[in-house]
């Protein structure tokens, strides 16, 4: 049986349509600039309309020492008095793709549904900017967000961090940096199907080879570009972290037809063993980011219902 046969039938429809147009997936585009343009076009194809309940503002804030400034996009619920919970948002894209615009609809959705001030960060991408540039950018943006909490209308006791895929790996890497540097206190983290292990040794990393969205060959290539020929440390590949104690309470989810399935389940188990309160959801039939490609399916709505419930509980 092909792993594709295990995908939720309704969620498979847009995936098959994409494969019909691009049989070998995004990895078939060797030029990174062209690949980013194709990924951006795919993101726009499922873009949600503007939400009148949310305002948006872009700002330039300090980057890491000696590095360029960062752009952040700030989302605020309309007509809600502060201070509100804060959510620091890190977009996905395998460390090589993505930007603020690619997940604007998701950040807007969370802002509206949870009633939080969301700060989304634009970080530098590999291969032009390998590790540690992306995670250092994310950490610098988090430091600015925490220092600006009063101005932003954020309750500093309710500051969480969220990201999917590469953004999930950067969420954990940033939380590790905050712990180890005595940085901003995080009340919660939500790494969604996080990209956290450069070794590609798990069973699921060998199983997922022909789905068309973040298969084994794509992941190996992305890790090589992200590491730039250097060995991974725990801030690049959090699965390598020896000590997970002291990280904030966590929520993880991943699909059964996702390359990251086994590394994420193992990481959630290690968080629990380290005494970190952890909630884990494994969704049958879900492929990588299926809720973004097939947002109207019953499966996607269940995935989002669990996430938003967890965020509301964590930030109450």
Query: Quick one: pLDDT at residue 48?
Result: 65
Let me know if 296 is a catalytic residue. Answer: no
C-alpha R_g of the chain: 18
Task: Give the bridge partners for 254, in sequence order.
Answer: 282
d(CA 38, CA 28): 11
Domains of the chain: 3-315 (3.40.50.1820)
Report residue 235 as tokens: 């801030």
Could you tell me where the beta strands, DSSP code E, fall in the chain? 54-61, 70-77, 84-90, 117-122, 154-164, 188-192, 250-257, 278-287
Let me know if 258 is a catalytic residue. Answer: yes
pTM for the whole structure: 0.96
Query: Quick one: pLDDT at residue 1?
Result: 64
Catalytic residue of the set 137, 258, 262, 264: 258
DSSP 152: H
Catalytic residue of the set 11, 102, 120, 165: 165
Query: Quick one: pLDDT at residue 232?
Result: 98
| Phi, then psi, of 64 in degrees rounded to 5 | -60, 160
Catalytic residue of the set 91, 129, 131, 288: 288
Residue-level pLDDT, tens digit, the chain, 316 residues: 688 889 999 999 998 988 887 767 777 788 888 888 888 777 766 556 789 999 999 999 999 999 999 999 999 999 888 799 999 999 999 999 999 999 999 999 999 999 999 999 999 999 999 999 999 999 999 999 999 999 999 999 999 999 999 999 999 999 999 999 999 999 999 999 999 999 999 999 999 998 988 999 999 999 999 999 999 999 999 999 999 999 999 999 999 999 999 999 999 999 999 999 999 999 999 999 999 999 999 999 999 999 999 999 999 9
Let me know if 206 is a catalytic residue. Answer: no
Query: Quick one: pLDDT at residue 213?
Result: 86
d(CA 137, CA 162): 15
Query: Quick one: pLDDT at residue 186?
Result: 98
| Residue at token pair 């994409």 | 18
| Residue at token pair 């954990």 | 172
């Amino acid at each position: 049986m092909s792993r594709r046969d295990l995908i939720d039938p309704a969620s498979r429809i847009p995936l098959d349509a994409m494969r019909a147009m691009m049989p070998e997936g995004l990895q078939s585009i060797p030029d990174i600039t062209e690949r980013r343009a194709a990924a951006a076009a795919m993101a726009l194809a499922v873009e949600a309309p503007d939400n009148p309940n949310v305002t948006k503002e872009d700002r330039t804030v300090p980057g890491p020492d000696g590095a360029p400034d960062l752009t952040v996009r700030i989302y605020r619920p309309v007509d809600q008095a502060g201070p509100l919970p804060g959510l620091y948002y890190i977009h996905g894209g395998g460390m090589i793709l993505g930007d603020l615009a690619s997940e604007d609809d998701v950040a807007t959705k969370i802002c509206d549904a949870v009633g939080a001030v969301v700060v989304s960060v634009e970080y530098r991408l590999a291969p032009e900017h390998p590790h540690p540039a992306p995670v250092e950018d994310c950490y610098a943006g988090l430091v600015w967000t925490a220092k600006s909490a009063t101005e932003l209308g954020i309750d500093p006791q309710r500051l969480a961090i969220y990201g999917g895929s590469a953004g999930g790996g950067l969420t954990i890497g940033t939380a590790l940096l905050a712990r180890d540097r005595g940085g901003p206190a995080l009340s919660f983290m939500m790494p969604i199907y996080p990209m956290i292990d450069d070794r590609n040794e798990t069973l699921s990393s060998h199983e997922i080879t022909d789905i068309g969205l973040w298969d084994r060959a794509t992941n190996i290539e992305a890790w090589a570009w992200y590491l730039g020929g250097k060995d991974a440390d725990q801030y690049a590949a959090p699965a390598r972290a020896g000590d997970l104690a002291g990280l904030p309470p966590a929520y993880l989810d991943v699909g059964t037809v996702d390359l990251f399935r086994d590394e994420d389940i193992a990481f959630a188990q290690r968080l629990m063993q380290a005494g970190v309160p952890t909630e884990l959801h494994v969704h049958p039939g879900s492929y990588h980011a299926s809720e973004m490609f097939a947002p109207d399916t019953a499966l996607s709505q269940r995935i989002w219902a669990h996430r938003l419930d967890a965020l509301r509980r964590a930030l109450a």
